[in-house]
Amino acid sequence: MYIGYGANRGEPIAQIRAGLNALASYLQISELKSSSLYRTRAVGPLQDDYYNGVASFNTHLAPLDLLDLLQEVEAQYGRDRARELRWGPRTLDLDLLLYGEMEINCERLQVPHPRLTERAFVLAPLVELAPELNMPGELATPAKLLRAIDQSGLLDQQTFVL
């Protein structure tokens, strides 16, 4: 499984770290692998830069159960989906990007994430973890996809330790 994470409100790095550690605890994962953190320009309304990354792990949870858990962790760290602007500022954002080789298209969940291949702030950290990954429905690897898109929104990168 691969999830994208990000934040740009409050203490973004601390919130990301706490949210990922909470997720690892709930899933009873001892080894959650995380990319570096990328400071990126926000997509959408004018707002502070984001910190983004990608994490990988294994889970026994079904995709919708994992989605529920991701949204529960977001809420614990201040995200209120009912009141936020689309692509607006966030205290914590956890997106299910890939679930093994599954393709899912239902009302609540699309996997692979529908904009995964368009966003450098997702592809760059995914390349760190799995540059040659065969993604469902794609002919190109994350590394090839990243080379083909605009990367100007990636401002800097820093090591991230959970």
pLDDT tens figures, 10-61? 999 999 999 999 999 999 887 789 999 999 998 888 899 999 999 999 999 9
CATH code for the domain of 149 = 3.30.70.560
The question of whether 108 is a catalytic residue gets the answer no
Please say if 49 is a catalytic residue: no
Active site residue 90: yes
Three-state secondary-structure class, residue 69: helix
Catalytic pick from 49, 79, 108, 150? 79
Q: How far apart are CA 99 and CA 127, in angstroms?
A: 16
Where are the alpha helices (H) located in 60-108, listed in sequence order? 63-76
Active-site residue, from 49, 65, 83, 95: 95
41 is catalytic: no
Q: Give the count of domains, the chain.
A: 1
Amino acid, single-letter form, for residue 128? E
For 1-17, the pLDDT digits (tens) are 999 999 999 999 999 99
Question: What would the mean pLDDT of 106-117 be, rounded to a whole number?
Answer: 94
Residue found by looking up tokens 């989906």 in the block: 81
pTM of the complete model beyond 0.85: yes
Q: What is the pLDDT of residue 17?
A: 96
**CB neighbours of 126 closer than 8 A, spacing ≥ 6?**
2, 35, 54, 97, 116, 133, 142
Range of the domain at 50: 2-158
pLDDT at 127 over 90: yes
17, 39, 93, 119: the catalytic one is 93
